[in-house]
Chains A and B, each alone.
Chain A
């Protein structure tokens, strides 16, 4: 238990040494991984989304692949395809980049819905079916998708039902002044990446994932989560309330976050920490309380949850 915890702290610190000043997003990304969920990072290009994914994968000792989504990307480019081999005289399946442990789906909203859904099916089922044959994906399997803000040109925004497949959505944002200064003064990031060593084995990761499911949630805490769900359904600020699936996601994420904090039980604060990242992409503002930009919308919306008293 404590060994797992130490290793996880090492993952966080090692990732933090490359991605400067972003401890919370790193912890959230790791939380998402521990909760066996997929992660959506939404931010502007160049704030370190790809780097974060890569560093995390390397630190956890996982195989890492990256797919750059473009509007001419086809499902076969992701899943792989059967190729006729002259020597054997038969078709042989050439697995696509999806057959890996951590996959970075870069700029997922630049691809057409057809390609998007190929990836999203793999996320849900942990297996892909090509040419009538079902092939399991390696475990653990973790998708980190990055998305540009949808107001940029040439994007196909993910529909709500597909956004729901992501356990959490995080934003990185610009680094603060000190972190940025260190970044500018520091070494080349790609060099650092090449030197990184795994600090955790995939087996340990799987143990940690198992441990996360065993983190205790007391009745009082479940009461609080139910109060939050009910609030989202009755509040005039939202067009639709949170689904039961969102409730489950909230519990999973809060458990993983508690584990990362070294606790064997969940506190209301854990729920509050992960709440914005779990629910923001599942909620739509009703327009009663809306700001101008997308980001401030979610922030303003999620703040209304602080009204919910803790039972």
Chain B
């Protein structure tokens, strides 16, 4: 019988019908939570969600009928199968979240009781977290904060029935208050929670794979995609002075091998990759800077020519290309130093062979031109100068839409016929020409320049800054950088004005300090916004093991292992929560009224003997309970209670009564 009664009580919560206003708020919150997911998920899922939300909305507002149970069962299976068909699986990030979305919608359809709404709310919170698996930008963070706020407001509407009559603004305020109260805890956990190496939201993700970026192969024309992209490659904050723009060559993959058309770097399997880079002598001050690199799913890191040191696990290859130990799949921060004036000491013979190699039959006219120069008895330096002059004075044009080089000898066609191209064409052709003349040469890819953000005092390098240039080996000067693209006369640079290019054209014009107040204002705004993003990347998303360590050291908490950090974290949490809990528990304790204080002492005496005052128990009831339990105390207990009630509740009371109470409480030793 008792058991049955009990189960009835537990189920009674299920029977509670949630209020309509609460359900409407919940629907709104679900719309907010689902919207960013729906933009990404398949069309059928988005349409299904919209249909369910619409139906549910009309059900609430216009009393549409509820959906039949068999239809819901059908949709459950159909949704399951549809997810399986769309994704080929039901696990993993994408399929898992899609399945969760389907199930949330189905739960909305059958949502009837208080318990159902709780389930919907908590799935909602989970989906909010799910969104961070895709995007951690500031806007998304702010948006999801809003979603959590609305979700919490719905929770209040549904769980605190008195709230239905109060104004929604009051409930939002309550929800906001709750979130604000959670804020210190959030900050504490964020700072102290031990970080494992790896992204905060680490998942093997599909995202970086399709990212535009450099590759360690080049075939004429493949960089066209790059110049179109305004995506950010990395940001570099300088501790020393920012070098002039014509020195800002960010070194990326170095390409050695060529087939005449294709260029590629030293293969991973090649023993050459294990060889340390040759020494170089540097002059002048080193540039010190911190790079925040966007994930590009390749191992290479970027540094100014020539890199001397780097703060993270990476090695410098024989051609000074920096490689991280693993792929860059998350936002990565590192400090590096570079010397802008340098001289490399030696070129190993096997490398010289590679740097001189050209395919035998390809590009005969180029080889012929180089041979002519050689036969004229020109020195190496003179040949380089002649080649540079050939490009600067040879009526070459810079264009982003060059004519196709389809023939078997692309360098020949470029140098002698079309004469139109961009950095890649120039770098590849110049290097080929140098090799043909017997001068060791290689192609360097990377980024050139960068937009100075005056707000955050750092350089912003975009994918559109991708570049390729040449390096030639001169016996007296070592490897020398030659950027053939920069030799083109300014009037030969084609500018395109079609709409799709407008943004980058605008960006370019801004970069060159263009004039009008509008462009300046725009540039200011862009810079401010990017500075905020940079800070967010650096301090929130980039808060990894190293930054944490650094930050804790600054706080004087360095040299702690993660166990100690966890201990510290819980210590701090307890330190924060204990006074709050104590305040809440002992709120009525500090009685300022002396009469009350005496009575409390009396209660404490009795509590020690196992008869504490129950919450909400009046003094007379308490006295009666004590006398029933311990009849021998009847007289003092009755007297004290009588004095206390008289002092506390009667119209007139005398000081003598107070003194008597004081004595009696002092004498009372049960």
Q: Taking the nearest CB of chain A, how far is it from the CB of B623, in angstroms?
A: 10
Binds B, one of A13-21, A75-83, A175-183, A266-274: A266-274
Q: Taking the nearest CB of chain B, how far is it from the CB of A230, in angstroms?
A: 11
CB-CB < 8 A to A288: which residues of B? 13, 16, 161
- A269–B620 alpha-carbon span in the complex (Å): 7
Task: Please give me the residue from chain B that is nearest to A311 by CB atom.
Answer: B588
| Given A218-B648, A288-B13, also A309-B588 (CB < 8 A) | yes
| Given A307-B615, A309-B615, also A266-B162 (CB < 8 A) | no
Q: Taking the nearest CB of chain B, how far is it from the CB of A118, in angstroms?
A: 31
B616 adjacent to A307 (CB under 8 Å): yes
- A273–B619 alpha-carbon span in the complex (Å): 14
A268 adjacent to B618 (CB under 8 Å): yes
Whether a CB of chain A sits under 8 angstroms from the CB of B651 is yes
Task: Please give me the residue from chain B that is nearest to A308 by CB atom.
Answer: B616
Q: Taking the nearest CB of chain A, how far is it from the CB of B55, in angstroms?
A: 26
- A11–B162 alpha-carbon span in the complex (Å): 42
| Given A268-B618, A308-B616, also A233-B17 (CB < 8 A) | no
A220 adjacent to B17 (CB under 8 Å): no
Q: Taking the nearest CB of chain A, how far is it from the CB of B485, in angstroms?
A: 72
| Given A269-B620, A311-B588, also A220-B648 (CB < 8 A) | yes
Task: Please give me the residue from chain A that is nearest to B624 by CB atom.
Answer: A269
Q: Taking the nearest CB of chain B, how far is it from the CB of A194, in angstroms?
A: 40
Flag B4-18 by CB within 8 Å of A: 1 or 0 each.
Answer: 000010001101110
CB-CB < 8 A to B615: which residues of A? 306-309
Binds B, one of A58-66, A204-212, A235-243: A235-243
| Given A233-B162, A236-B159, A240-B162, also A265-B588 (CB < 8 A) | no
Task: Please give me the residue from chain A that is nearest to B164 by CB atom.
Answer: A239
Contact pick for A290, options B12, B160, B165, B617, CB 8 Å: B12
Whether a CB of chain A sits under 8 angstroms from the CB of B196 is no
Whether a CB of chain A sits under 8 angstroms from the CB of B650 is yes
Flag A255-287 by CB within 8 Å of B: 1 or 0 each.
Answer: 000000000111111001000000000000011
Whether a CB of chain B sits under 8 angstroms from the CB of A310 is yes
A240 adjacent to B165 (CB under 8 Å): yes
Whether a CB of chain B sits under 8 angstroms from the CB of A234 is yes
Task: Please give me the residue from chain A that is nearest to B13 by CB atom.
Answer: A288
| Given A233-B162, A241-B162, A265-B650, also A310-B12 (CB < 8 A) | no
A239 adjacent to B618 (CB under 8 Å): no
Q: Taking the nearest CB of chain B, how far is it from the CB of A216, in angstroms?
A: 4
CB-CB < 8 A to A241: which residues of B? 162
Whether a CB of chain A sits under 8 angstroms from the CB of B74 is no
> Interface residues of B, CB < 8 Å — how many?
25
B13 adjacent to A267 (CB under 8 Å): no
CB-CB < 8 A to A308: which residues of B? 615-616
| Given A272-B618, A307-B616, A310-B616, also A267-B165 (CB < 8 A) | no
- A218–B595 alpha-carbon span in the complex (Å): 14
Whether a CB of chain A sits under 8 angstroms from the CB of B645 is yes
A287 adjacent to B17 (CB under 8 Å): yes
A287 adjacent to B619 (CB under 8 Å): no
Task: Please give me the residue from chain A that is nearest to B9 by CB atom.
Answer: A291
Whether a CB of chain B sits under 8 angstroms from the CB of A156 is no
CB-CB < 8 A to A238: which residues of B? 161-162
B649 adjacent to A310 (CB under 8 Å): no
B651 adjacent to A264 (CB under 8 Å): yes
- A265–B15 alpha-carbon span in the complex (Å): 45
| Given A268-B618, A306-B616, also A234-B162 (CB < 8 A) | yes
> Interface residues of A, CB < 8 Å — how many?
34
- A311–B8 alpha-carbon span in the complex (Å): 35
- A284–B330 alpha-carbon span in the complex (Å): 56
CB-CB < 8 A to B650: which residues of A? 216, 218, 264-265
Contact pick for B161, options A264, A286, A291, CB 8 Å: A286
Whether a CB of chain B sits under 8 angstroms from the CB of A221 is yes
| Given A269-B618, A309-B588, also A239-B649 (CB < 8 A) | no
CB-CB < 8 A to B649: which residues of A? 216-218, 220-221, 265-268
Whether a CB of chain A sits under 8 angstroms from the CB of B475 is no
- A266–B619 alpha-carbon span in the complex (Å): 12
B621 adjacent to A269 (CB under 8 Å): yes
- A241–B163 alpha-carbon span in the complex (Å): 11
- A268–B614 alpha-carbon span in the complex (Å): 14
Whether a CB of chain B sits under 8 angstroms from the CB of A2 is no
**Within residues 573 to 632 of chain B, which ones have a CB less than 8 A from any CB in chain A?**
588, 593, 615-621
B162 adjacent to A239 (CB under 8 Å): yes
Whether a CB of chain B sits under 8 angstroms from the CB of A134 is no
Q: Taking the nearest CB of chain B, how far is it from the CB of A137, in angstroms?
A: 33
- A239–B13 alpha-carbon span in the complex (Å): 15
| Given A236-B162, A241-B162, also A305-B651 (CB < 8 A) | no
Whether a CB of chain B sits under 8 angstroms from the CB of A292 is yes
- A289–B9 alpha-carbon span in the complex (Å): 8
CB-CB < 8 A to B617: which residues of A? 310
CB-CB < 8 A to A234: which residues of B? 162
| Given A218-B648, A218-B650, A287-B16, also A268-B162 (CB < 8 A) | no
- A309–B612 alpha-carbon span in the complex (Å): 14
Task: Please give me the residue from chain B that is nearest to A237 by CB atom.
Answer: B161
CB-CB < 8 A to A310: which residues of B? 616-618
Task: Please give me the residue from chain B that is nearest to A235 by CB atom.
Answer: B162
A267 adjacent to B161 (CB under 8 Å): no
- A238–B164 alpha-carbon span in the complex (Å): 12
Q: Taking the nearest CB of chain A, how far is it from the CB of B613, in angstroms?
A: 9
CB-CB < 8 A to A272: which residues of B? 616, 618, 621
Flag A216-258 by CB within 8 Å of B: 1 or 0 each.
Answer: 1110110000000000011110111100000000000000000
Flag B154-191 by CB within 8 Å of A: 1 or 0 each.
Answer: 00000111100100000000000000000000000000
- A309–B618 alpha-carbon span in the complex (Å): 9
A236 adjacent to B648 (CB under 8 Å): no
CB-CB < 8 A to A265: which residues of B? 645, 649-651
Besides the contacts A220-B593, A240-B165, what 11 more A-B pairs have beta carbons closer than 8 Å? A220-B649, A233-B162, A240-B162, A265-B645, A267-B645, A268-B649, A287-B16, A289-B12, A292-B8, A308-B616, A309-B616
16 A-B interface contacts by CB (under 8 A): A216-B649, A220-B593, A235-B162, A236-B159, A238-B162, A265-B645, A265-B649, A265-B651, A267-B645, A268-B649, A286-B162, A287-B161, A290-B12, A306-B616, A309-B615, A310-B616
Query: Which residues of B pack against A, CB within 8 Å?
Result: 8, 12-13, 15-17, 159-162, 165, 588, 593, 615-621, 645, 648-651
In the complex, the 4 A-B pairs of residues with the closest C-beta atoms, listed nearest first: A216-B651, A268-B618, A286-B161, A269-B618
